[in-house]
Structures are given as C-alpha cells and as structure tokens.
Amino acid sequence: MSSIFCPALFIAAPSSGQGKTTITAAIARYHSLQGRQVRIFKMGPDYLDPQILEQASGHPVVQLDLWMAGEDYCRHQFYQAAETADLILVEGAMGMFDGEPSSADLAATFNIPVALLMDVKGMAQTAAALATGLANYRDDVRVLGLIANNCASDRHRQLIANALPAHLPLLATMSRDPEISLPERHLGLVQASEVRDELERCFNKAAAMIAQGALATLPAPVEFSSRELPVVAPLLLGQRIAIARDDAFSFIYAANLQMLKDMGAELMYFSPLLDQQLPDADVLWLPGGYPELHASALAENTVMRSQIRDFYLADKVILAECGGFMYCLESLRDLSGNSFEMLGLLSGQAAMRDRGGCQGMQTAVLPEGDIRAHAHHRSASDNTPDPIGCGRRQRHPAPGEEIYRSRGLTASYLHLFFPSNPAAIATLFNSKRKPESA
C-alpha cells in the first residue's frame, strides 16, 4: 500500500452555527491566493456548503461520511486529493462529537489534526475552558488549537489567548463582522449560484483575517494511504440520463454523477424552470433542491410539465428525490401558503412547514437492493399512494421515509448515495427495467 504526505486540517466545532463553512472557505481562499492547490472535503450529506466551498477553493468539493460512503471510499478520496493538493481541508458537521460516526471519528480514522472553531460571543476565559475540555475528551483526536470566531476586540482576543494552555494556542481570530457572514435560508446556506459576488467579498475579507494568524502557515503533512476501490462495470453503457439541474434542482452529489459516467452512461442536463424541450433520454433523474422557491415558474412551464408527463406515461425510468418527489406530486404549497400545480405523476400534495421536518441517515430499501441515503426536508406530503416500503433509519426502529413506485417512477424524500451500491443503482437506472403497474 503506497502513501502520500500532504498538509491537512480538520475544522470542527462544539455545535452547528459556529461558522465552520465561513472559516473553512476563508482558509481555502487565503491559501489559494498564495498560489496553492486546496482541496476541501465536507463531512456528512450536505449539498449547500460544498457549493460555497467550491467557489472559495476553485475545486470540486466531495462529501465524506464513514457510514454513508464507507472507510475505503473516504480513504480513496483523500489519497486522490493528496496526489495534487498542497493543502487538504475538511469541514466537520454539527458538533465535533455529535452523530455516529462523528466528525471526531472521521478525523481520528485518518489522523487529521483538528482546528477547533468556537463562536466566542459573550464569553472569554470560558471559551478556553470549553476548548480545553473538547481537546482532552478523546485521546485519538489531536487538536492543534482554537479559532475564535465573532471576537469583539483585541482585548477580547487577548483574554482568550491568555487563558488557553500552552499546548492549545489561539490559531486565528475572526472579528465580529457581518460582511463575512454567509447568507442563510430554511434548509441552510443560500446556494452559491444565487450570491456569487457577495460570496467573493466575504471570502476575500475573511482571508485577510486568516493572514494575521498561525493558519497562514501550512499545517504539518499527514500520511494518506491508497485503497483502490473495485472497478465499476459499464452496466449503463449507452444509457442516456437526463438530469434536472438549475436553481430549483441542484442537490446532486458529484460522486453520483461520476459513478454514472464510470458505468458508461451519457449525462445530459436540462432546466425544468427555463427549458422548453426535454432531452432525448432513456432515463430521467429529478434530484432535490428548492422547488418551493420556484414553484410558480415550475407551474408556468407547462410545456416542460407536459413532456415529463409523456415521458412517465411511456413507462420510462424516472428517479425523483426529495424536491424532485415534491415536483412529481399534484401540487406544492410554499411557505407563504400559495399552492401551485406540479407534474401530477403521483397523487398527493406537498406543503412547506414553518418548522419541523426530517433529517438523518437512512437506508433506501428497494427491490434492486439497499442503497444508503439521507433525508433533510421541511415539507410534508399528504394523500399520497400506498408506498412500496420505507427507509430504514440508521439507529432508530421507527420507519423512515416512504418510497413510492408508479410505472417506471421511483420517488421518495430520500437522497441516494449511488456509490454505496453500484449494482442496485445500475438496475434502478436500467431503461429496460420492467415498470410497475400505474
């Protein structure tokens, strides 16, 4: 097994909302401006943060999760990145020790040192106490120091720095500045494509703050070993897959696209919002996104809706995930209470909710095989048909998201991670798959 050494750093925090994406983007932008190749990975099943981080670094961002993707997959991704990168950054998820597996588990598995990020608003020496406790909580996690976010003044910074033990220095201070805050909405950060210029200003201002501290220097190299994955057979050779991709449908794992390509599929993209012609395809994939923010435009594009219905009535294969599933229902009610007509491939209505929803890891139990997945939505569906089954939650006995089949359509709130079961995905996307009865 060969190895490559590359400087690497894991950004973790005591909870969500501490500013991990902002700081990771700032570090990436600073080192990119120095002419270095920076590769970023995002812990967990996240679609929005990787869009932000890709713009900051100039390189695609891969999501990593030990449960959803497996250790071998993660190891292979790190090794590939280390072959060309000058710096590898990993943004953690939730709190450092939250979840099974947690951010700490991923950092420990690959021996990546951790920079602990903390929003220090409203505290000083207490921030040092919390940081020390987190750093000492597990022996297999190596914490290099603290990043103090939302710091009010130089005096505030000095109080924290003086209270930290010698082995846990203050690595960087990010001042309390609304101009480096990333815009958010109900499922998280706003998509990068919607605020590209604003993000540029955030990145460059935050990068200037990074230049003043220890994070301006590359961390020590980490050893990454190779672990080749099984070769994916060309099981979809010649299959033409049309993928919805625009501001309404953008929640797509790069790993899913790559696997379809490796299987020999030809990928085509279209916009249900803007296009008047569905690509000439064998299979249709409607991924998740924000259809609730664009429901009026989706409803008004009657030409596209008619073509997708014809595709469905021709018994062709369709996969609809989360937002794509909502698009397949009869109607969608947005957060303002307005209802819009959707595709009507499945009976039922989708409605956005002010609070609540579902979030977490699940396995999609399909006739083709089990595929690991996750759910993250703030909507509910009513009056839907009987499901063919439900997702299996990672660590809870209650049934997960319902899974529907009609003709060639498979629809659910679940977002599938294709590399977790390539054979099942190949069968699911096979245009010759026998359709269910309508």
Sheet of 331-333: strand order equals 339-341, 331-333, 349-352, 379-382
* Structural fold of domain 240-428: Rossmann fold (3.40.50)
Q: Which amino acid is at 251?
A: F
* Farthest-apart Cα atoms in the chain, separation: 70
Stated as kind and residue range, the H or E segment containing 427 is helix 422-428
β-pairing verdict for 143-151 and 349-352: unpaired
Q: For 136-188, how does the pLDDT look when each residue is reduced to its tens digit (9 = 90+)? A: 999 999 999 999 999 999 999 999 999 999 999 999 999 877 666 766 544 45
Q: Where are the alpha helices (DSSP H) in 18-144?
A: 20-33, 48-57, 71-82, 103-109, 125-135
Alpha-carbon distances, residue 165 vs 97, 116, 130, 136, 160 (angstroms): 22, 14, 12, 12, 10
Check if 3-225 and 240-428 are the same fold.
yes
The tens place of each residue's pLDDT in the chain, 438 residues long, gives 689 999 999 999 999 999 999 999 999 999 999 999 999 999 988 888 888 899 999 999 999 999 999 999 999 999 999 999 999 999 999 999 999 999 999 999 999 999 999 999 999 999 999 999 999 999 999 999 999 999 999 999 999 999 999 999 999 999 877 666 766 544 455 665 566 678 888 888 889 999 999 999 999 999 999 877 888 899 999 999 999 999 999 999 999 999 999 999 999 999 999 999 999 999 999 999 999 999 999 999 999 999 999 999 999 999 999 999 999 999 999 989 999 999 999 999 999 987 656 678 999 999 999 999 999 888 889 999 999 999 999 888 888 899 999 999 999 999 999 999 999 999 999 987 777 654
CA nearest 9: which of 70, 23, 19? 23
Cα 202–206–208 angle (5° rounding)?
A: 125
With beta carbons less than 8 A apart as the criterion, state whether 348 and 330 touch.
yes
Report the candidate in 51, 12, 70 with the shortest Cα–Cα distance to residue 195: 51
Catalytic residue, chosen from 202, 322, 328, 358, is 322
Please state the domain extents for the chain.
3-225, 240-428
pLDDT at residue 185 in the model: 43
Please indicate whether residue 322 is annotated as part of the active site: yes
Is domain 3-225 in CATH 3.40.50.300, yes or no? yes
Record the pTM. Answer: 0.90
